[in-house]
Amino acid sequence: MRPQFLNFGDEVIAAIAQDMNKNGYACIPGFLNEQQLAQLREQVATEANIHNGQYFAHHGDTALAGSLLVSLKAAPELQSLLQEVYRQGAGQTAPSSEIFPVLRCVQGDSGRRESNCFHFDATLVTALVPVEIPQEGKENERGHLLVFPNLRRVRSNVLINVAEKALVQNAFSRKLISLGIVLRLLRPQRLQLVPGNLYLFWGYRSLHANEPCNPAFRRATAIFHYGDPHAGSLLTSLILTINQHRARRASQVGDHQPV
Ligand SMILES: O=C(O)CCC(=O)C(=O)O
Ligand SMILES: [Fe+2]
């Protein structure tokens, strides 16, 4: 089950980080084999029925106990990939080597509300594996990943990070950004995700969201978050507690991480 092919040398890791810097993302094709993809799709189908065809997101090891995602995140190859990519990006090792897994499914009308939810991740490295991506319908209703890459650097002061996130991650700003995109005043990168590939980008530095999906189709992604540059700060711990409360009420995108 382990992704053996992820035993990358220093040069490959450097090239991945360079792609993330220059192009906004790096892609490792065929991260999952057919069997693994089928297994995750089966999990998504079961959960999708339980959630009556509506949006859901499972955050963390406990919620994902028994899922393939937990075995994948335990693979030393994935751990060292994320660790090295972080080091290339931040110039130092991550304060915590914890990988935070998420399984997210956009479907139904509630899925629309969870789309265009632009945010900066709390973690520097975001590794995303598409599980199911709509292949039919209008081009702007297939849940592509919208990314404004590398808009900011890692902030040395956690307060600046919190202020920037507060400025962007609210209903008004998100509506404004979506309008800007419709009017073509803003032009994010539109990644047409291929199931089974691994996409890496600087989630902390890049404003991103999924484009809406036709409610009739299902869009599922597995996400591995790695390396919170502000881990351990008092404010981070406080916000983590608040977010955990909120996450219990609603499984919101981008809010499952500390800051
Ligand atoms: O599902 C996606 O495509 C993106 C999700 C995301 O950005 C997140 O969970 O932080
Ligand atoms: Fe994100």
Protein residue whose Cα sits closest to atom 8 of ligand 1: 254
- The top-level CATH class assigned to 4-249 is mainly beta
Ligand 2 mean position, distance from CA 8 (Å): 25
Q: Per-residue pLDDT for 71 more than 90?
A: yes
What pTM was estimated for this model as a whole?
0.91
Protein residue whose Cα sits closest to atom 10 of ligand 1: 254
CB 146 within 8 Å of CB 181: yes
Q: Is 223 in the pocket of ligand 1 (CB under 6 A)?
A: yes
Q: What is the pLDDT of residue 57?
A: 93
230-246 pLDDT, tens per residue?
988 787 777 777 766 76
Ligand 2 mean position, distance from CA 11 (Å): 27
Residues around ion ligand 2, judged by CB within 5 A, are: 121, 254
Ligand 2 mean position, distance from CA 224 (Å): 10
What is the C-alpha to C-alpha distance for residues 253 and 256, in angstroms, rounded to an integer?
Answer: 7
Q: Is 254 in the pocket of ligand 1 (CB under 6 A)?
A: yes
204-230 pLDDT, tens per residue?
999 999 998 888 889 999 999 999 999
Q: Is 221 in the pocket of ligand 1 (CB under 6 A)?
A: yes
Q: Which atom of ligand 1 is nearest to the CA of 219?
A: 1
Q: Is 208 in the pocket of ligand 1 (CB under 6 A)?
A: yes
- 201-216 burial, b for 16+ CB within 10 Å, e for fewer? bbbbbbbbbbbbbbbe
Q: Is 145 in the pocket of ligand 1 (CB under 6 A)?
A: yes
Q: What is the pLDDT of residue 248?
A: 61
**In the chain, where the domains are located:** 4-249
Which among 196, 84, 208, 210 is positioned nearest to 140, based on CA atoms? 210
What is the C-alpha to C-alpha distance for residues 240 and 17, in angstroms, rounded to an integer?
Answer: 28
130-139 pLDDT, tens per residue?
999 998 888 8
Q: What is the pLDDT of residue 249?
A: 62
The residues near 156 (Cβ < 8 Å, ≥ 6 apart) are none
Q: What is the pLDDT of residue 250?
A: 54
**Mean of per-residue pLDDT scores for the chain:** 89
AA letter at 171: A
